[in-house]
Amino acid sequence: MGTRVNDQNFEAEVLNSSKPVLVDFWAEWCPPCKAMDPILDDLTTELAAKVKIVKLDVDANPSTVVKYNVRAMPTLIVFKDGEPVDFKVGAGQSRVQLIKWLDQFAA
């Protein structure tokens, strides 16, 4: 499973990262979130040199969820240079689609 982030370490782990960061906003009670886990786990290793992938539990970290207006799970937000640059909502992305999506930010 990817690195866990929370309200306290979000700035250090995500906003101050030297490479793009994909944040998986997920919840324990969310079946589509669990369906994405194996894909994101694979990509965490495969894309480690280019992109950092982390998970944020929406129930335990309300201030980050509110700050980035996350309303559905899973929500995937890419941060680059401390700013959100793109997002996807839902579990409809395949492994290949996610790699293509993330590659554009890793250049």
Which residue out of 27, 30, 89, 106 is catalytically annotated?
30
Return the exposure string of 80-103: e unless at least 16 CB atoms fall within 10 Å of the residue's CB, then b: eeeebeebbeebebeeeebbeebe
Which residue out of 33, 36, 43, 70 is catalytically annotated?
33
- 3 C-beta neighbours (distance < 10 Å), count: 14
Q: Is 30 a catalytic residue?
A: yes
User: Which residues share a beta bridge with 28?
Assistant: none
Q: Is 65 a catalytic residue?
A: no
Active site residues: 30, 33
